[in-house]
Amino acid sequence: MKISQLIAHNLLSFFAVLLVLSPVYAAESNKVLHIVTTVPPITNMVENIGGANVDVVGVVPNGIDSHTFEPVPADAKILADADIIIVNGLDLELPTIKLAEKVKKPSTPIIHLGNNTLRKEEWQYDFSFPREHGHPNPHLWPNIALTMRYAEIIRDNLVEFDLQHKDSYMANTSAYLAKLKQLDEAIFSCVKTIPKKNRKLITYHDSFAYFAPRYGMQVIAAIQPASFTEPGPREIIRVIEQIRKEKIPAIFGSEVFPSKIMEQIARESGAKFIDELSDDELPEKPNNSFIGMMVNNMTIMSEALGGDPNCMANVDTSNFTH
């Protein structure tokens, strides 16, 4: 066989192999990443950034206390099938992470958003998360500047794992960051409408430790102790006296943390009790998004503390649509 014929034969063989393998390559290029997350706000962020290229399953159901959540046997299968596992970290999901480390594929990374966002010296310890217990407050996402960092970390990891869809991830993240910036600016505007003397928060669970310093508010107290039990009589009396002294108009509970103690404190202090704030439970449609959750929070908080509840009227709460 002449050299020219040999080259032609080899080229034909090469292209024949490509034709056989092309469906495999096409299947790989269209592969949807299976991503497992934990709390609903993070699940929603990943859905918006990943878009059509990801399939996202959150193991912590909406409306469930994420601090006491224990994964069930069915979650082991979900975690085992994951291409990427994305958690908040900062000790929020320890049982789920422990299970994930046992069952996940060797190639599956566990991304700790909180630990990659703040240095250890920036961690907050407070009423519900005292330093002596060793677990920092993990609720970074009500501070929208920190949520923006979460979005960037999610984007960077999706791109690293799935470079082929980099342009899509970059575009989705840019759009999402623009929405978060609009939300961040609206929160500042909301707080400005609240009289300075009322920019104080008393909540059942201490979910706003990172939120308050950014937006010029102060967390006065959180009712729920670090043990996640009800507070004792001495602590209840102290909070009632503080509310009276500082003339705080409203205190905030949560549907996830129902508490008759909060009702008692409100009744005896003269403050209004509002049990509709949420730190990780997403609202129903049409605002069924993390941004929608924060819009609801700020609308409720602003009105209760003497501000303008219409301050959130123009914030885009929509999710990514395929």
Q: Is the pLDDT of residue 71 over 80?
A: yes
101-146 pLDDT, tens digit each: 999 999 999 999 999 999 999 999 987 888 888 899 999 999 999 9
23-59 pLDDT, tens digit each: 333 335 568 999 999 999 999 999 999 999 999 999 9
CATH topology of domain 186-312: Rossmann fold (3.40.50)
Cα Rg of the chain, angstroms: 24
CATH 3.40.50.1980 residue ranges of the chain are 31-181, 186-312
pLDDT of amino acid 127 = 79
**What is the distance in angstroms between the CA of the first residue and the CA of the last residue of the chain?**
55
Give the residue-averaged pLDDT of 234-241. Answer: 91
- Decide if domain 31-181 falls under CATH 3.40.50.1980: yes
Q: Is the pLDDT of residue 61 over 70?
A: yes
Q: Are strands 33-37 and 84-87 parallel, antiparallel or unpaired?
A: parallel
**How many Cα atoms within 13 Å fall on the side-chain side of residue 304?**
24
271-289 pLDDT, tens digit each: 999 988 999 999 998 889 9
Residues whose CB is less than 8 angstroms from the CB of residue 269 and which lie 6 or more positions away in sequence, other chains included: 239, 240, 243, 244, 248, 251
Helix axes 166-193 and 290-304, enclosed angle (nearest 10): 0
- What is the model's pTM? 0.88
* Separation of alpha carbons 180 and 159, rounded Å: 20
pLDDT of amino acid 231 = 81
Of 198, 195, 197, 192, nearest in space to 215 by CA: 192
Task: Express as a percent the part of the chain with pLDDT over 90.
Answer: 72
Q: Is the pLDDT of residue 19 over 50?
A: no
* Separation of alpha carbons 268 and 65, rounded Å: 28
Task: Express as a percent the part of the chain with pLDDT over 70.
Answer: 89
